[in-house]
Amino acid sequence: MKNPFLWVLLVFSTLVSAYLVFLGAISISVGLQHSEQEGSWAPVLAGSLCIISVLWLLLRAARSVVQALRKTGSLNVL
C-alpha cells in the first residue's frame, strides 16, 4: 500500500458522495410524489443537478487520487 492517506481520502469522498446522491434521490422522490402541486418540478430539478454534479466531482477526484496512487509524485488535483 503506497499511501494510506490517499486510500482514506478516496473512501471518505465516496461515502460523502453516496450520501449526497441519496439526498438528491430523496429530493426527486418528493418532487414526483407531489406532482399534482404547482412547482413540483423544483425538487426534481434540484435533485437531478445535485446527483449530476456530485458524480462529476467524484469521478474527477477519484481519477486524481488513483493517478496519485499509481505514481510516486505529488497529488495533482487539477
Residue 32 lies in a domain: yes
Looking at the structure of the chain, the number of domains it has is: 1
Residue 17 lies in a domain: yes
Please, which pLDDT band fits residue 2 given cuts at 50, 70 and 90? low
Residue 78 lies in a domain: no
Q: How far apart are the C-alpha atoms of 54 and 60, rounded to whole Å?
A: 10
Range of the domain at 13: 4-70
Give pLDDT, residue 15: 96
Residue 12 lies in a domain: yes
22-78 residue pLDDT tens: 999 999 999 999 999 999 999 999 999 999 999 999 999 999 888 887 876 555 555
Q: How far are the Cα atoms of 25, 45, 51, 60 from residue 28, in angstroms, in the given order?
A: 5, 8, 10, 24
Please, which pLDDT band fits residue 5 given cuts at 50, 70 and 90? confident
Residue 77 lies in a domain: no
Residue 26 lies in a domain: yes
- Report pTM: 0.79
